[in-house]
Amino acid sequence: MVGPVRRRGAKRKGRRHEPYGKGDGDRLGEEQMAIMDIDKEETVGQIRQRHKREQRDHRLEIGRLTQELKRLSKKVSGEKELRREKVREIRELTDAMGRRHEIELREAMAGMDHDREQDRDTDRRFT
């Protein structure tokens, strides 16, 4: 019986040194990223990318809530009320996110138009 073949000179993976192991010290947490994002302005493309990420997370949250809905009975009075609350919560979350995304995009587009008008005004002054 022959054992497993070991390659010569093959690298053995070991543990990484402290700052690069799990819980990477170089990575920033979401709180720190949020603080950094406050300082800089987002472009319309960056806003759309963030909205896509938020929609993905939102779909996961709704999936979790619908799984809870499936466990609740439509017939039992106490569970029926819980079920209604979950449905309302799903609707409110979806509507609120949609409104917020729409407002953010509208403001970004208005800001972009405002910047273009200022650029045109400065071009007129210097020509």
Q: Tell me: the pLDDT tens digits for 39-87?
A: 568 889 999 999 999 999 999 999 999 998 999 888 888 888 999 999 9
- Asked whether residue 31 is assigned to any structural domain, the reply reads no
pLDDT value for 16: 60
Amino acid in position 88: R
For 123, the token pair is 């071009």
- Asked whether residue 10 is assigned to any structural domain, the reply reads no
Domain count, the chain: 1
- Asked whether residue 100 is assigned to any structural domain, the reply reads yes
Domain that holds residue 85: 42-126
Q: Which of 4-13, 26-35, 53-62, 96-105 shows the lowest per-residue confidence on average (mean pLDDT)? A: 26-35
- Asked whether residue 48 is assigned to any structural domain, the reply reads yes
pTM above 0.85, yes or no: no
- Asked whether residue 119 is assigned to any structural domain, the reply reads yes
For the segment 76-99, the average pLDDT, to the nearest whole number, is 92
- What single string gives the DSSP state of each residue in 35-47? HHHHHSPPPHHHH
Taking 80 as the threshold, does the pLDDT of residue 9 lie above it?
no
- Asked whether residue 90 is assigned to any structural domain, the reply reads yes
pLDDT value for 27: 52
Residues 6+ apart with CB under 8 A from 105: 44, 47, 48, 51
CA distance readout (Å), 69 to 4, 58, 82, 106 = 51, 16, 9, 34
